[in-house]
Structure 1
């Protein structure tokens, strides 16, 4: 009797295990059944219900958002050129500002930016930073400070450096377009927009054997408010820029029509 009971229990256990295994295999097959159609996964659960799941390739683009804060970007390094009433050659009135083109430069960078990103490809932002224009004069002259007009004196000194410069706080409004990222994680950028600048100071820096290094500060009749526009094009963190200022470089009547432009390389374009 006991043997029959043991035999029955053994057969029953084996049958139950076999049935459970079969159902487990069936359930696994059912759960693993995946139908892919039009970027969607149709997953059959438990041999009955179909549940739709979106493919990773259909993930939504990042939502629009406000962006900004402290930064150190758009470092512009290049050359400056004076344009005298549409001509790169200076008129006799402004000939005392004749300069060395290869050593007349511009340098600027941004330290703040606040804006709104509408999508991964477009944003608008206001930035703030500093801008210098450094004119390397050819002649041995000294631009005079605290004068009613822009005047100079001829000096009997051979200056090894005679630099006439201005520094501004600039506030550009930029419209930035960019492509999708490449396989290397880089993008093409196209940035343009207007900017307004406020004069900090003007400066004359001279170096000679006779007097050593001499620095003088004044506004030198540079425009107290300057406005213009900038265009940048680049890839990754490197690009090219050009700037043009619409109003005159100086506030003096004699220099009417004398404007400034610059061009060069941008680092940290993002």
Structure 2
């Protein structure tokens, strides 16, 4: 997880440096009544009037490359409506404080109707990392979600997945206050496509080991996201209505996440 956060921060930093070097182009575009918002990415679509102020009187399409909406938080498994795992799924028992989620967007395209309402589709990446309690190894290349008990103690036993996610967001925001900040509410459905699954283990006997497979994670998932925030900081909650695994034994096992969002542009 630390490497993912560092990567996201590094990419955002490089984008900011690139934005600084492009200030001359930005001034030129403003004179043409169009604005490029660099920040953490490049967003085109803001239209300006003859005085240089953003024209909010008409709707407009907006979109571009963005590294905002970095979500960092915790994940929880829900077994047929319960936060307690059933005997069938007890092998997935996890350490709640170390079971986490990280996601961020890289693209967004949408339509801003006015200063307070926007609809947009985004695209990015999402990771769920389950820190298993038990000394087991989830098996790869099996038709079901199976495991073996290990005679050793793992200092880390992480079971994770990664998805490409595509959320459709409805954004409501207040008018700017005297400091130029706003309150936001963002909500909408989201779909995802599996990239891969991974098991990472660390032990004294075997050292560091990594195994990749789809591990019967659902190849397609769907759910919804809700955010509420102020300026560039928000709280988020995600719930995936689809099953977490594409196996009969894990039917009804779902995933949710919650945490903080950095950046709401």
TM-score by length of 1: 0.78
Q: Does 1:152 align with 2:147?
A: yes
Task: Give the Cα separation in 2 of the matches to 1:236 and 1:150.
Answer: 43
Q: Which residue of 2 aligns with 1:202?
A: 197
TM-score by length of 2: 0.79
Deviation at 1:157, TM superposition (A): 1.1
Task: Give the Cα separation in 1 of the matches to 2:152 and 2:199.
Answer: 15
Secondary structure at 2:91's aligned position in 1?
A: helix
Deviation by residue 1:18-47 (Cα, 9 ceiling, x = unmatched): xxxxxxxxxxxxxxxxxxxxxxxxxxxxxx
Q: Which residue of 1 aligns with 2:26?
A: none
Q: Does 1:126 align with 2:121?
A: yes
Deviation at 1:63, TM superposition (A): 2.4
Deviation at 1:205, TM superposition (A): 0.2
Task: Give the Cα separation in 1 of the matches to 2:256 and 2:235.
Answer: 14
Deviation at 1:62, TM superposition (A): 4.1
From 235, 244, 248, the counterpart of 1:253: 248
Q: Which residue of 2 aligns with 1:74?
A: 69
Q: Does 1:232 align with 2:227?
A: yes
Deviation by residue 1:116-143 (Cα, 9 ceiling, x = unmatched): 0000000000000000000000000000
Task: Give the Cα separation in 2 of the matches to 1:74 and 1:157.
Answer: 40
Query: What does 1:7-22 align with in structure 2 at a 5 Å threshold?
Result: none
Q: Which residue of 1 aligns with 2:259?
A: 264
Task: Give the Cα separation in 2 of the matches to 1:183 and 1:263.
Answer: 31
Flag as ranges the 4+ runs of structure 1 deviating above 2 A: 59-63
Deviation at 1:64, TM superposition (A): 1.3
Task: Give the Cα separation in 1 of the matches to 2:56 and 2:127.
Answer: 39
Q: Which residue of 2 aligns with 1:92?
A: 87
Task: Give the Cα separation in 1 of the matches to 2:164 and 2:187.
Answer: 18
Gap regions ≥5 residues in structure 2: 1-50
Task: Give the Cα separation in 2 of the matches to 1:157 and 1:147.
Answer: 23
Task: Give the Cα separation in 1 of the matches to 2:121 and 2:95.
Answer: 34
RMSD of aligned residue pairs (Cα, Å): 1.2
| Change beyond 3 A, Cα 1:210–1:144 | same
Deviation at 1:148, TM superposition (A): 1.1
Q: Which residue of 2 aligns with 1:243?
A: 238
Gap regions ≥5 residues in structure 1: 1-55
Deviation at 1:60, TM superposition (A): 6.9
Select the structure of larger CA radius of gyration. 1
Deviation at 1:193, TM superposition (A): 0.3
Query: What does 1:95-114 align with in structure 2 at a 5 Å threshold?
Result: 95-114=90-109
Deviation at 1:217, TM superposition (A): 0.2
